[in-house]
Structures are given as structure tokens and as C-alpha cells.
Amino acid sequence: MKIEARTFRISGYPDFFAKDHMTVDIDAPRAEGDYVVFPGFCDVHVHLREPGFSYKETILTGSKAAAHGGYTTVCAMPNLKPVPDSFEHLNEELDIIKRDAVIDVLPYGAITIGELGKEHADLEGMAPYVCAFSDDGKGVQSDEMMKAAMYRAKALGRIIAAHCEDETLLHGGYIHEGIYAKEHGHAGISSASEWKQIERDLILAKETGCAYHVCHISTKESVELIRQAKRDGVNVSCETGPHYLVMDENDLQEDGRFRMNPPLRAKEDREALLAGIIDGTIDMIATDHAPHSAEEKAKGLPGSAFGIVGIETAFPVLYTKLVKENIITLEHLVSLMTVKPRERFGLPCGDSWCVWDLNKEYVIDPAEFLSMGKATPFAGWNVSGECLLTVHNGRTVYRKTGK
């Protein structure tokens, strides 16, 4: 049926829509409702697992899941097999993207060969085809290796996006080194393992002038370091994930769907992240969508693989917990999910948009995910906001069917 939906304008950003309302053809669950058209969301941090790990996710299933979540652009991390550390290896991923992706999928190129931190990848050969460079999943341990990569990336006009993790400070941990770990006998990951490497990289970014982006920050120290670096004129941006904004170690359960890297931190860390969102220190929200097989996530907190899925739940969780609770405005949330990531990474929106019923309330059920991954800490949550339609470059890539 055809319904009227209001288009959502964002101050200071080019208009996506020619008029205040659009007539859209959807299988509406009811005749009335607060239907809103947003520009297509953009996620600069996802794992689509192909090539190499298609039993976890594929570019086809991952991009369909993204469309289900209202996303029309995603940037795929390079921890693949083969790692995209040369044009030859990258081209395997590009071929699959060209064949199967239903939305824009932009690959990252690796910083080092095999993401092993020993020798630089062919940054020059990959630069025209990647959104940025990252060794996501691992921190670049060598100061000199990172410094040289920053100089090369700057010359190529590309961002270095860093997973910041000092491996000498991990000590076998797998959840936050806090109250829950102590009370339940788990090995903890210190906050310093994250912020110490951010501290190093900010010094290098200031020295080299490189455009530097910090992935999935989770600690209060990380927020303050980046806040101060921005004051000092460092070319730095950062992201955090939905789960770090709405959960902390007090929400942990003895279940693999709560194991992620970085881990859920303390309450004061979550509060610092929210403050960073409010004052603009944190530029964008990225899901770090990281699907695994059911078997890999069925080994509890100690033995499960790191990573959760999140691209299909990001907007409803954030709308419910941040906007409806008056922590940030809806305009601010949309900016964090589409405007800021597109501006920083130079990713156009084009004729891409999504329609949401903001009044629809439901319970998150992983069985309804289009992603092959089902491990989410949000299972069973009551949320508001349902995606009804996603259009990418004028083509429908997701449509909710009536029940």
C-alpha cells in the first residue's frame, strides 16, 4: 500500500529529499503510524567474512542484513583469507562485492602483510580501491611500523583506522578487568591495553599529519585522550559501538554472546562514552558487526570467539535507549549513523534512503536476522523502531513483508 512518510532533514547537511513528505509503497503493518524517511545509514566497521570464512557470513548475507538495518553503505574490515594486503588479494574480495553486494560495500586494505605487523602491505597498489587502511582485529605493535604507515597513508590521501590494543597488557583476558571478572573468576582485559596504544598513535598522528581514526573505543581514558587531541589540532576521529553506549559489565552473562573485543567496560566508562557522544568527541557510531557460527559462540565467556552481530539492531536499540530517553536527539543519532561517517570517509549517499516506523514496538529475536550470525546481547530486548523499506541508488534492497 502507498503511505505518506515525512522526510527527515538534518541541519547543515545537503537535502536528500525534494519535499517534506514522500509517498512510499510498503506493506505497512497498519494504516497509521509515525513513518519517517532517513538517508541511508553508513557503517564504517563491519566484518563480512568473505573471502575465507563464508561459514560465518558472506558479502551477500551481510549486505542484506545491513539493508535490513537501514544501511546502504558499509566498510568491510580486512581480517579475511587471504588478507587484502596486495591488489591481487584485494581483488578476490572486490570480485565478490561486485557480484553479490546489494548495497555499497567498501573494503579496507590491510596495513601490514597478513596483519602480522612485520612488513607493510602494498598500500600504494590498493589505495585507489579501498576506503582506508586497517589491521583491525590486531593492534600494530611496532611504533616505527605505525609511524611509517601513517606517512604513506597521508601521501596516498587515505585514513589509518586503528584497532588499538597493546598485546603486552592483555594477559590472556577476555572480558573487562573489573568487578564482574573478579567476582566470577574470569581473566580480565585492562583498559590500559586500549588507551595506551591510542596515546601512542595520537603522538604519531600529530607528528605525521596523518588522518587517523580510532576504532571501537570503550574506555573513559580513550575518550579524554581523543578529546584533548582534537583540542590540540590532531587530525583524529573515532567511533564507538551501540553496545558500549547502552551496556556495561553489570549486564554481563555467562554466555558467548557477551564476549566481544574490546569488552563491555565499567559503568563509568559507559558514562564517559555517552558524554563523548554528547559533546562531539566521538564522531560516529559503528556496529563492529562480527558474525560467527553458533558453535564458535557456544563456549561461554572463556572459550567463545570474540564478536557479536549488530547491524540489524543498531538503530532500534539506540533510538529506544538514547533518543526516547532524551539523552540525544533523533537528529544527532542520524548524524552519528550517516552524516559523520560519510563526511569523514568521503562516502556519498546518492539516491539511498530507508523508511522506519518509529512507533512499532517489538522484541528482538535473532531468528529473524538476515545475517548468518545470531549472537547478540540484545536478544529479548523490547525496542521501538522497525525498518520497513531500504532503497539503494533507486533500487529496493529490503522490504518488510506484512504479517
**Active site (catalytic) residues:** 288
Q: How far apart are CA 179 and CA 350, in angstroms?
A: 47
**CB of 113 closer than 8 Å to CB of 119:** yes
Is 328 in a helix, a strand, or coil? coil
Q: How far apart are CA 138 and CA 94, in angstroms?
A: 23
Strands 395-399 and 71-76: unpaired
DSSP structure string for 172-197: T--EESSHHHHHHTPPEEPTHHHHHH
φ/ψ of 360, rounded to 5, equals: -70, 125
Task: Please give the single-letter amino acid code of residue 195.
Answer: W
Task: Please give the single-letter amino acid code of residue 56.
Answer: K
Report the half-sphere exposure of 147 (CA within 13 A, side-chain side): 8
CA angle, 255 then 249 then 238, to 5°: 105
- Residue 89's H or E segment, with its range, is helix 87-100
**CB of 228 closer than 8 Å to CB of 182:** no
